Amino acid sequence: MWGRQHGSVVGVVDVGSNTVRLLVARGDRVVLTEREMLHLGADVERLGEISAEKLSLVTALVERFAADARAAGAERLEVLIASPGRQARNGDELLAALTAASGTSTRVLTAVEEGRLAFVGALHSASLPAGRPVAVVDVGGGSAQLVVGTRRDGPQWSRSVDLGAQRLTSRLLGGDPPGREAVAAAREEVERHLDGFAPPPPRTVLAVGGSARGVKRIMGPRLGRDDLEEALDLLAVTPAAELAERYGMKLERAQVLPAGCAILAGLQQRVGAPLKVVRAGLREGAVLELAAAALAAA
């Protein structure tokens, strides 16, 4: 697991562009996890806002997750809205609806906050020297973050792009399979968004998020340039249903994985080192900070 704190049971609901997830933990023990894919980012890309239907669905889901967290003993609970809250025209309406539904602290994360929480969660999951420069890559559904820093000093360089696996799929990769020509166009779109990215060189690169975990199922936990090229070639020509069955992933994840892999490949080239896929990320970082706040208030 990612931490060693003990004390209060705390919970985080993470509302992303692809998936809504719940994590409840006490110290280093996971008490409850739940998730459901709603693809809010597809609405944002197509309509510029979250549709009334999806708004109703996510409100009901967050209300249920909040009840489940409290039933599991969560003494502190927070709802974090990632890129849908920043990118949708009706982000304020989403925030208000989820605040009322959850009955707890709810906020829209800035891109910087999103990257920082992923950095905190990832570094707590890895046994690395305190002063080693580490990059954390987090490809979500609606945006992607790259953060470089150390365990001792925290994040020192951070960038974000408004391009994630769901948005890129909706924009350029709607075919099943998408085909090599579409994947090539998607990679050009990624390069356009990453133009000017010049991170300080890290010693270690950690990758978090659903896209990284999906590619890990195909290629293993270490993703170098050749590994990502091989994965993209496979994803370009393999139907989503076949990927899901062959590699034991949800169909909804397989449908957006070519886009996620294209973004990971672009970021890997920027950091110049293989990606090591780790499980802990934004939610784990948020749980750590929530637990620390509870301890400080005790």
Encode pLDDT of 21-31 as tens digits. 999 999 878 99
Domain(s) labelled CATH 3.30.420.150 in the chain stretch across: 127-277
CATH assignment of 9-111, among 3.30.420.40, 3.90.1300.10, 3.40.50.300, 3.65.10.10: 3.30.420.40
Domain(s) labelled CATH 3.30.420.40 in the chain stretch across: 9-111
For residues 114 and 80, give the distance between their C-alpha atoms in angstroms, rounded to a whole number: 9
Beta strand spans in the chain (E): 9-15, 19-26, 29-37, 76-81, 105-108, 134-139, 144-150, 154-161, 204-208, 222-223, 275-277
Model confidence band, residue 297 (pLDDT cutoffs 50, 70, 90)? confident
Residue 4 confidence (pLDDT) above 60 = no
Residue 5 confidence (pLDDT) above 70 = no
pTM of the predicted protein model: 0.91
If you average pLDDT over residues 20-42, what whole number do you get?
Answer: 93
Which fold, 127-277?
Nucleotidyltransferase; domain 5 (3.30.420)
Peptide bond preceding 177 in cis form (omega within 30 of 0): yes
Q: What does pLDDT average to over the chain?
A: 94
Residue 226 confidence (pLDDT) above 80 = yes
Give residue 279's identity as a one-letter amino acid code: R
